[in-house]
Chain A
Amino acid sequence: MTNSPARIAIASGKGGTGKTTLATNLAAYIAEQEEVVLVDLDVEEPNSGLFFKGDLIHEESNFKMIPQWDEPKCTFCGLCQKVCNFHAVLQLGPTILVFPELCHSCYACSELCPTDALPMISKRTGKLSDFRINNLHFVESRLDVGEEQAVPTISKTKQYSNENYAHLRIEIYDCPPGTSCPVIEATKNADFVILITEPTPFGLHDLTLAIETMRTLKKPMGVVVNRYGIGNDAVIDYCQKENITILAKIPNSRRIAELYSSGKLIYQEIPEVKELLSNILDYCLKASKGDIE
């Protein structure tokens, strides 16, 4: 337990506040010193990979379990349709239909079927890829088009990283935006959560929701203010009032926007950002070990 990596999750109340920028820059910065793994858990829109060109070292399909109808065994008792809370099984005349996208893999229909006519089988839901760029390991999963449920894939991707990179000191999660199920799944076993926001009314509003979410999960957290200098001080004031540490203020600059737009790492060009990353990292590592608070 004590030797497992420090898991740092980077999240935000909504997309586009610089979450991926921070995740990729922080990971690349750490990789200058030691091996590190960056896990892109934004499985609906994985974007971190656009910033790295690495060697693909492993690829596998992600699966979920769904029931498959075994016609000869079925007595058409109708129980399966009745027990499925997600309307994923339907009895239509002399046929049982399964809708894989709606299935939550709860096994109820399969295990309650009196004649074992609905065995669970695995179905592909997407693809996991593991890349390596020198010291940086980069793991991402991508949902197949039409696949709705992000949560099982997020959990599977974390598990892959936990199993393969348990020997590292730091794991970084790039989380999906928002406050709904996928974020909860992505952050629930993190040791520390970095919330990134912008100092604007929208940023403040989304941050308050994100903080509320992380408090529900009882996670230690800190805030990074991106594009500091635009907007107003309401985000800073709010964090002070709520006693939440501001880990860094990344200055607003057109140069950063330009570097980002061409997929370049920012800290390599702007020394000030490198220093901020170092501060953020120090704090996160101390906090995940429980040395703070």
Chain B
Amino acid sequence: MKEIVIISGKGGTGKTSITASFAVLGGNNAVVADCDVDAADMHLLMQPDFDFSEDFYSGELATIDANNCIRCNKCAKVCRFGAISIRSMQYVIDPLSCEGCGYCARVCPTEAITNKNRLAGKWYISNIKTGSIMVHARLGIGADNSGKLVAKVKNEARDIAFEERKDIILVDGSPGVGCPVVSSLSGANFVVLVTEPSVSGLHDLKRVYELVKKFKIKAGCIINKSDVNPKKRDEIVGFLAEENIVHLADLPYDENFTSAMTQGQTIVEYDQNSIKTLLTSSWERIKQLVINQNHNR
């Protein structure tokens, strides 16, 4: 079982479209995990059936039972997050400001405050059009710590891949360089970095690669819209060579990506186009690299 994670540092580089294409190329042998829970879009291309769903709880949320409150103001005094206020003579907690630290409940003399688990989102297991299975999620509004939901999605995908004897787990990774992307990367066998030739593209690539290096994961890179800025493209290629990152492909600026998407398709299912060929050979290359890794060990 091999885990391949696709990340991009920042959104908008075509990461999800490319991951979805690999999912189609991987067919029923690839379990898909959409770990971009903050902007989970991949299901739009995969025809998921939302076969199973479950609420995801993370952290706590305090609430005041007005019947037990003697309005002593102790809770409001200790709350460091300005979450407790008085509205129409009642002490109330604003769920969007409450961090769930539990301090208020500890000082309340009448036990009027209870901490409940906070609903932070929902996660799903779906059968998808590739004949395989996808684990995906939706983070709740104002939820904290998407890292935990990412870890959940990934662990479920691993369990499924193990039970169903699938060879590949394809992970659409989270953006940024924080906790969610760390959860996306942990345990991966190969990382595909998707970037574009722009000032911010290279900047984000370098930042996220720092993280990949810490995990000592072998990486390859796809440069999307590579012809938009040939000079920056060359700079990126230089960086790849320096860091020993496999340069998988240069994709041209191509509006077929969007045309395919509007029809709920990945670009490799769409009419003949140059990107289809490039992505197919990238996928073959990735598979080879992942298998070779085994031999080296």
Contacts and interface: CB of A to CB of B under 8 A. Distances in A.
Interface of A: 13-18, 20, 44-45, 47, 50-51, 83, 85-86, 104-108, 111-112, 145, 148, 150, 177-181, 184, 188, 200-202, 205-206, 209, 212-213, 216-217, 230-232, 252, 254, 257-258, 260-263
Interface residues of B, number: 56
Contacts of A252: 255
B102 interface: yes
B11 interface: yes
Given A180-B146, A230-B255, A105 B100 contact: no
A86 B148 CA distance: 13
Contacts of B99: 104, 106
B38 A180 contact: yes
Given A177-B11, A180-B38, A261-B198, 20 more contacts: A13-B39, A14-B38, A14-B175, A44-B176, A50-B203, A85-B59, A85-B101, A86-B101, A105-B80, A108-B106, A178-B139, A180-B142, A184-B141, A200-B258, A216-B141, A217-B96, A230-B259, A254-B228, A261-B228, A262-B232
A179 B259 CA distance: 27
A212 B141 contact: yes
Interface in B55-89: 59-60, 78, 80-81
Nearest to A65: B80
B251 interface: no
A206 B39 contact: yes
B156 interface: no
A84 B214 CA distance: 30
Contact of B12 (A16, A180, A184): A16
Given A44-B176, A106-B103, A262 B142 contact: no
Given A86-B101, A106-B80, A184 B177 contact: no
A232 B262 contact: yes
28 contacts: A13-B39, A14-B12, A14-B38, A16-B10, A16-B12, A20-B200, A44-B178, A47-B200, A50-B199, A50-B203, A83-B102, A85-B59, A105-B80, A106-B101, A108-B78, A180-B38, A181-B144, A200-B261, A201-B44, A201-B264, A206-B39, A206-B41, A213-B142, A216-B142, A254-B253, A257-B225, A257-B253, A262-B229
